[in-house]
């Protein structure tokens, strides 16, 4: 059976396919690198249509990572998928709070989802950092509420929850507040998307924004 085995060749061919089927359009250089990484991770070209960045969202995210910020995820799966070497090199740490001992207590007490409770705990343990929400729309809704109440002020919110109920509306809510954001409009998203975005941002820390995109795909 014949197939490509060299990982560098696989990356090169993937990048060629993306370049052949998409153009940069509205995105600046760094945004386009992020978009391409998401398309590469999902094999879904529609992300080039639904991804949206607030002004200088990538720059704000990179500044936070350079300071060694906390990266908060809404699932253990996303936490596990983030490149540990890149996190260590940046002096950052990754946390998810779904298994926190108080999550079940808060969820029962307030009649809310565990994902919402995890955001409340995350806010108590630090106001800043990058929040990457890929799974639970309710987590993003609660995070927006916490921002509006002045309980948390993230450097960047990656709001890409997937779902048929609440996902689109939660991203719309995020886009109305004055916090740097990166979203996928509509129902599309997921932990894979959130992880791809975090990993490519970490990769960009040590790469000039005008580099060949293939290098970023390899690192992410």
Per-residue pLDDT of 148-183, as tens digits, reads 999 999 999 999 999 999 999 999 999 999 999 999
**DSSP-based three-state secondary structure for 156:** strand
Q: What does the pLDDT read at residue 209?
A: 44
* Percent of the chain that is helix, strand, coil (3-state, to 5): 55, 10, 35
Identify the band that residue 206 occupies on the pLDDT scale cut at 50, 70 and 90. Answer: confident
Residues annotated as catalytic are 40
CB 67 within 8 A of CB 83: no
Mean pLDDT of 184-193: 97
In a domain, 108, yes or no: yes
Confirm whether 1 is domain-assigned.
no
* Number of other CB atoms surrounding residue 182 within 10 Å: 28
The pairs formed by 57-61 with CB atoms below 8 angstroms and a separation of 24 or more are: 57/31, 57/156, 57/180, 57/181, 57/182, 58/30, 58/31, 58/34, 58/182, 58/201, 58/204, 59/30, 60/155, 60/156, 60/180, 61/130, 61/155, 61/156, 61/158, 61/180, 61/182, 61/201
- pLDDT 10s digits, 27-75: 999 999 999 999 999 999 999 999 999 999 999 999 999 999 999 999 9
Q: Residue 178's domain is classified under what CATH number?
A: 3.40.50.10230
Full residue range of the structural domain in which residue 59 is found:
7-219
Residue 116: per-residue pLDDT: 97
Residue 2 lies in a domain: no
C-alpha–C-alpha distance, residues 172 and 170, integer Å: 5
Give the pLDDT confidence score for residue 217 in this predicted structure: 52
Q: Would you place residue 85 in the very low, low, confident or very high pLDDT band (cuts 50, 70, 90)?
A: very high
d(CA 75, CA 94): 11
Q: In this structure, what token pair is assigned to residue 65?
A: 């990572």
HEC per residue, 163-201: CCCCHHHHHHHHCCCCCCEEEECCCCCCHHHHHHHHHHH
Q: Does the model's pTM come out above 0.75? A: yes
Rounded distance, CA 134 to CA 88, Å? 22
| Distance of alpha carbon 123 from alpha carbon 165, whole angstroms | 24
Q: Which of 213, 195, 189, 184 is nearest to 49 (CA)?
A: 184
Mean pLDDT of the chain: 92
Counting the structural domains of the chain, the total is 1
CA angle 159, 122, 134 (to 5 degrees): 25
Residues in contact with 174: Cβ distance below 8 Å, sequence separation at least 6, in sequence order: 140, 143, 144, 157, 159, 181, 183
pLDDT in tens, 97-153: 998 989 999 999 999 999 999 999 999 999 999 999 999 999 999 999 999 999 999
Q: Is the residue at 14 inside a domain?
A: yes
Q: What is the per-residue pLDDT for 212?
A: 44
Residue 129: inside a domain = yes
Up-side HSE of residue 209: CA atoms within 13 Å toward CB?
11
């Amino acid at each position: 059976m014949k197939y490509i085995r060299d990982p560098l060749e696989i990356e090169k061919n993937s990048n060629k396919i993306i370049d052949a089927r998409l153009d940069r359009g509205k995105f600046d250089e760094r945004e386009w690198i992020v978009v391409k990484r998401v398309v590469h991770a999902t094999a879904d070209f529609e992300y080039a249509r639904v991804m949206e960045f607030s002004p200088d969202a990538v720059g704000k995210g990179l500044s936070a990572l350079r300071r060694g910020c906390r990266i908060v995820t809404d699932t253990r799966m996303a936490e596990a998928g983030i490149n540990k070497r890149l996190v260590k090199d940046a002096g950052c740490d990754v946390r998810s709070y779904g298994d926190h001992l108080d999550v079940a207590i808060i969820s029962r007490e307030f009649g809310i989802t565990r994902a919402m409770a995890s955001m409340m705990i995350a806010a108590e343990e630090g106001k800043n950092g990058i929040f990457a929400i890929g799974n639970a729309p309710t987590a993003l809704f609660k995070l927006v509420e916490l921002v509006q109440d002045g309980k948390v002020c993230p450097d960047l919110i990656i709001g890409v929850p997937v779902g048929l109920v609440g996902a689109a509306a939660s991203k719309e809510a995020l886009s109305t507040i004055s916090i740097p954001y990166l979203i996928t409009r509509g129902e599309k998203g997921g932990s894979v998307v959130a992880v791809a975005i975090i990993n490519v941002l970490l990769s960009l820390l040590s790469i000039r924004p005008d580099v060949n995109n293939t290098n970023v795909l390899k690192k992410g």
